[in-house]
Chains A and B, each alone.
Chain A
């Protein structure tokens, strides 16, 4: 049984896509639709659909951010990653990014012929997965890594901020302002609207989201290893890959272990 999840904040459009999908692909089982990005992540992880239709502009997390979260949190035993189709009304920038990354997308209003072609492609990919499931895993793995690659290039295509790179962080701890040189930071961790800054000897919170911080760090020195973690590359001691594709990192100056998600695991390959 093939299942699909629709994430769309405009109720009429969600209904319309549901109706069009019922016509174009009658055997498809549709889950109750998600009303925003966060809802989409929760529902996708709970019901593990084969296909997810994600609106790009939604309340809370955007479609792109929801896709990132779904892929990162997809359980290792849940089978292959869901196939993701982005839906957008008019986003010139996003469409170019989709074209470049060869990601499937639909434009609103969704045209029946375009939807039928999209469904045919999805059916082929699912059929391929099913025949591969009995025989050997490699096809599925290849399929997944292709999806990860596409998503990675989409996320990387986001326009870079033009702000000057940060060299010094100013973090308030109690009544005292702590000046932390960026070079001393071992890793940054997203904590809601804040970022936790961890050095060899101390921790602090700064009022900034990880997404705002990221463009202001040197991409060579600081690697994003998870959507919520950025680590200083030369602070990493070892990287160990497990069967699910995740990579566990040990650090030189800190006892804790960090996890690199499958989306970012490609950073760790032996030379």
Chain B
């Protein structure tokens, strides 16, 4: 009589699948994933019912009912347990709590499933099982084994899915960072104004137009390369700033008085490409350009022990005025680059050096703003060894 119930083991498979569900990283309720597991468990139950029928020549219909009842009951307990318990990024309670959840769900699911199927058939297997505990263990054993196998399989699958999601997220973040860098450096307002100047120069002063074009080419090439290189020599960094300043001098005429100072012995130190560029751009865009009359800009590199100090000093309208203006000027509001530059410099420094590098933005006593980057050097510059990163 009792054997009909035996096929049950397959159900455990589904409980296993339910437990492994690491598909969602935040383990929120995902109806699609739950339904997937229900279908998978039901299929496994059916297969096991068929196997059991073949092995002991019992009725497939009755085996199927018992298998589905036990399997889905186990799945139900596992799903419920996962909702109630704190789950990690895998969507599964960590360590022994996960294993306990499967084990407890197996036992409870088995009891509930058998009882449910018994109710359907109008008889009870329990007196038979209780009189023969060995028989109970023999029936439950395969259920547990199948459950663990399926749980393991789902767990591995979930891990892989989670891993894929992480890789995709990381690559998305990297692409976004590159794009942001490019966008902040290829600021359209700057580009179109420069082209407008170039267009004016072509007929008015062809040799100067050619010079300006050369600076623009060097600047564009550096900008495009910057998103691909990890670092370049400080001398190269200053050369690109000279290009940018030359372009801005054509545009602003006498209003921009700019200079750069790089001691030759520091020229070989490797730095992240175009690290200073956004600071120079900010000094002009938010400090000097909005201010009536001429202004000064000085970019310098100095060495303090084993710390490289890169400074951008301007005599513009100052931080307070710039911040106030940003709040109200519609023209600047929609633009990438305003305020973004500073955040980007901070972020890059933090990624490369953690807390060892410092970036400060301070008002100058004589008016204007001083932006300063302090980079730790692993080795003195004369040794020519690249800085550790």
Q: Are B331 and A10 in contact (CB under 8 A)?
A: no
Q: Are B327 and A161 in contact (CB under 8 A)?
A: yes
Q: Complex: how many Å from CA A11 to CA B255? A: 10
A179 at interface, CB cutoff 8 A: no
Do A109 and B195 form a contact, CB below 8 Å, given A10-B251, A90-B189? yes
Per-residue CB proximity of A156-180 to B under 8 Å, as 1/0?
Answer: 0111010000000000000000000
Q: Are B289 and A57 in contact (CB under 8 A)?
A: yes
- How many A-B contacts at CB < 8 Å in the complex? 97
Per-residue CB proximity of A26-39 to B under 8 Å, as 1/0?
Answer: 00000000001010
Distance of B210 from chain A, by nearest CB (Å): 15
A94: contacting residue among B196, B290, B292, B330, CB under 8 A: B330
Please report the total number of B residues contacting A with Cβ < 8 Å.
31
B86 at interface, CB cutoff 8 A: no
Q: Are A89 and B193 in contact (CB under 8 A)?
A: yes
Q: Which residue of B lies closest to A58 (CB)?
A: B290
Per-residue CB proximity of B307-332 to A under 8 Å, as 1/0?
Answer: 00000000000000000100111110
Distance of B48 from chain A, by nearest CB (Å): 60
A135 at interface, CB cutoff 8 A: no
Q: Are B197 and A9 in contact (CB under 8 A)?
A: no
B264 at interface, CB cutoff 8 A: no
In the bound complex, residues from chain B placing their C-beta under 8 Å from that of A110 are: 196
Q: Are B331 and A13 in contact (CB under 8 A)?
A: no
Q: Complex: how many Å from CA A109 to CA B198? A: 9
Within 8 A of A (CB), among B200-217: 200-201, 204
Q: Which of A10, A15, A56, A62 has the most CB of B within 10 A?
A: A10
Q: Are B200 and A59 in contact (CB under 8 A)?
A: no
Do A10 and B253 form a contact, CB below 8 Å, given A109-B192, A110-B196? yes
In the bound complex, residues from chain A placing their C-beta under 8 Å from that of B289 are: 9, 57, 59
In the bound complex, residues from chain B placing their C-beta under 8 Å from that of A161 are: 327-328
B268 at interface, CB cutoff 8 A: no
Q: Which residue of A lies closest to B191 (CB)?
A: A90
Distance of B176 from chain A, by nearest CB (Å): 20
Distance of B171 from chain A, by nearest CB (Å): 28
Q: Are A12 and B188 in contact (CB under 8 A)?
A: no
Q: Are A93 and B334 in contact (CB under 8 A)?
A: yes
Interface of B, secondary structure class, is helix
B292: contacting residue among A12, A60, A90, A109, CB under 8 A: A60
Q: Are A56 and B331 in contact (CB under 8 A)?
A: yes
Q: Which residue of B lies closest to A16 (CB)?
A: B200
Q: Are A108 and B192 in contact (CB under 8 A)?
A: yes
A212 at interface, CB cutoff 8 A: yes
Within 8 A of B (CB), among A47-72: 56-57, 59-60, 62, 64
Q: For the side of the interface on A, what is the size category?
A: 35 or more
In the bound complex, residues from chain B placing their C-beta under 8 Å from that of A100 are: none
Q: Are B251 and A94 in contact (CB under 8 A)?
A: no
A152 at interface, CB cutoff 8 A: no
Within 8 A of A (CB), among B320-368: 324, 327-331, 333-335
Q: Which of B188, B193, B197, B200 has the most CB of A within 10 A?
A: B200
In the bound complex, residues from chain A placing their C-beta under 8 Å from that of B292 are: 36, 38, 59-60
Q: Are A209 and B324 in contact (CB under 8 A)?
A: yes
Q: Are A12 and B330 in contact (CB under 8 A)?
A: no
Distance of B206 from chain A, by nearest CB (Å): 14
Q: Are A11 and B253 in contact (CB under 8 A)?
A: yes
Within 8 A of A (CB), among B163-208: 188-189, 191-193, 195-197, 199-201, 204
A91 at interface, CB cutoff 8 A: yes
In the bound complex, residues from chain B placing their C-beta under 8 Å from that of A244 are: none
Q: Are B200 and A12 in contact (CB under 8 A)?
A: yes
Per-residue CB proximity of A80-107 to B under 8 Å, as 1/0?
Answer: 0000000011111110010000000001
- Residue pairs across A and B with Cβ atoms less than 8 A apart, 18 shown, are A10-B252, A10-B253, A11-B253, A12-B250, A13-B197, A13-B200, A13-B251, A57-B331, A59-B290, A59-B291, A62-B331, A64-B331, A89-B196, A91-B189, A91-B331, A158-B328, A158-B330, A161-B327
Query: Which 9 A-B pairs give the minimum distances between C-beta atoms?
Result: A16-B200, A93-B334, A109-B196, A108-B196, A158-B330, A89-B192, A90-B188, A89-B193, A109-B199
Tell me the A residues contacting B by CB distance below 8 Å: 9-13, 15-16, 36, 38, 56-57, 59-60, 62, 64, 88-94, 97, 107-110, 157-159, 161, 209, 211-212, 215
Given contacts A10-B251, A12-B204, A158-B330, 10 further A-B contacts (CB under 8 A): A10-B193, A10-B252, A11-B253, A13-B196, A38-B292, A89-B193, A91-B189, A92-B334, A211-B328, A215-B328
